[in-house]
C-alpha cells in the first residue's frame, strides 16, 4: 500500500476515535430541579397574579445536542386577597400540576462557559381549586371566578337553582415551550440554569396560561 494511502487510513481512524470519544463524553442521562417566580396570564393573571412554582425532571440525552425529558411542575394558584374578598371566596386556594414530555435542543456553540438551549413539549395539566363550602341561593349574583374555576351554573348573571360551591378539579392537555441558559458548577458536577417557559392548558372552562421563570440545577 502506498504511503499516501496509509496516511489516509490513519487520518480516518483518528477521526473515528475522536468522534467516538466526543460522543461518549456527554452525560447519557439528564436531571433537573428548580423553582422560582410564576407569571400568570389570562384568568390566572386576573385571579392569582404572579405566584411561585417548583419543577423536577429527568430524561435521556441522545447526543450533545438533542435530548428528551419528563418533567413534573407544581404551580401555586393562591388567589388574590381582593378576589377572595370581592367574589365571596372564603378560604380559597388552588394549584396547577402538570406532567410533560419535552424535547431539548442544546445550542452547539458556547459563549465562554455559558450555554443555551431550547425546549418544547406536550403534557397533562390538572387545575384544582377549593374554598369554604357554601350554599348559593337562587338570585345570588354570580362572580367570574365561580363560573370560570368553580363551574357554577349561572343564567343571565345569577344563580337559578340552589348550588353548593366547595372544590373543583379540571384536567386538560396542553403544551409548553421556552429556553434557558446554563453555567457549569465544577464542584457540584452540575449546571446552574435560568429558564423561561410558556405553558398553556385547554380546560373546558377556559385556558390556563402561566409563564414560570425557573432557577435551578441540571445534571
Domain at 119, CATH number: 2.40.160.20
Instruction: Return mean pLDDT, the chain.
Output: 89
CB count within 10 Å of CB 219 equals 13
Residue 140 lies in a domain: yes
The 10s digit of each residue's pLDDT in 18-33 is: 444 344 456 889 999 9
Confidence of residue 189 (pLDDT cuts 50, 70, 90): confident
Q: b/e for 13-35, b at 16 or more Cβ within 10 A? A: eeeeeeeeeeeeeeeeebebebb
Quickly state the pLDDT bin for 187 (edges 50, 70, 90).
confident
Is residue 112, in this structure, part of any structural domain at all?
Answer: yes
Q: Residue 154: inside a domain, yes or no?
A: yes
Asked whether residue 13 is domain-assigned, the answer is: no
207 pLDDT more than 70? yes
Higher pLDDT, 103 or 188: 103
pLDDT score for 25 = 55
Give per-residue pLDDT as tens, 34-85.
999 999 999 999 999 999 999 999 999 999 899 999 999 999 999 999 999 9
Q: Which residue has the higher pLDDT, 175 or 162?
A: 175
Could you list the residue range(s) of the whole structural domain that residue 69 is in? 27-218
Q: In the prediction, which pLDDT does 17 show?
A: 40
Separation of alpha carbons 35 and 211, rounded Å: 12
| 9 in a structural domain | no
- Region 4-12: what's the mean pLDDT? 50
Residue 10 pLDDT: 45
pLDDT (mean) for 142-158 = 92
In the chain, how many domains are there? 1
Per-residue burial over 77-107, b = 16 or more CB atoms within 10 Å of its CB, e = otherwise: bebbeebbeebbbeebebbbebebebbbebe
pLDDT band at 196 (very low <50, low <70, confident <90, very high): very high
Tell me how many helices (H) and strands (E) the chain has. Answer: 4, 8
The confidence score (pLDDT) of residue 144 equals: 94
Q: In this predicted model, what pLDDT tens digit does every residue of 110-134 receive, in sequence order? A: 888 999 999 999 999 999 999 999 9
How far apart are the two ends of the chain, measured CA to CA in Å?
48
Whether pLDDT at 188 is above 80: no
Q: Is the dihedral of CA 9, 10, 16, 20 positive or negative?
A: positive
Higher pLDDT, 5 or 136: 136
Is 158 part of any domain?
yes
Q: 106 in a domain, yes or no?
A: yes
Amino acid at each position: 500500500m502506498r504511503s499516501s494511502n496509509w496516511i489516509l487510513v490513519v487520518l480516518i481512524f483518528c477521526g473515528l476515535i475522536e468522534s467516538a470519544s466526543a460522543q461518549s463524553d456527554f452525560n447519557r442521562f439528564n436531571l433537573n430541579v428548580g423553582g422560582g417566580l410564576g407569571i400568570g396570564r389570562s384568568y390566572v393573571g386576573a385571579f392569582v397574579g404572579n405566584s411561585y412554582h417548583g419543577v423536577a425532571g429527568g430524561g435521556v440525552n441522545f447526543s450533545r445536542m438533542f435530548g428528551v425529558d419528563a418533567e413534573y411542575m407544581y404551580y401555586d394558584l393562591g388567589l388574590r386577597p381582593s378576589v377572595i374578598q370581592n367574589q365571596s371566596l372564603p378560604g380559597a386556594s388552588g394549584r396547577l400540576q402538570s406532567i410533560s414530555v419535552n424535547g431539548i435542543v442544546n445550542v452547539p456553540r458556547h459563549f465562554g462557559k455559558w450555554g443555551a438551549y431550547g425546549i418544547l413539549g406536550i403534557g397533562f395539566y390538572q387545575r384544582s381549586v377549593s374554598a369554604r363550602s357554601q350554599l348559593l341561593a337562587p338570585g345570588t349574583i354570580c362572580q367570574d371566578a365561580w363560573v370560570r374555576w368553580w363551574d357554577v351554573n349561572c343564567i343571565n348573571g345569577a344563580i337559578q337553582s340552589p348550588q353548593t360551591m366547595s372544590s373543583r378539579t379540571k384536567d386538560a392537555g396542553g403544551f409548553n415551550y421556552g429556553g434557558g441558559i446554563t453555567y457549569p458548577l465544577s464542584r457540584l458536577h452540575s449546571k446552574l440554569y435560568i429558564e423561561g417557559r410558556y405553558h398553556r392548558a385547554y380546560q373546558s372552562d377556559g385556558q390556563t396560561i402561566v409563564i414560570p421563570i425557573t432557577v435551578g440545577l441540571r445534571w
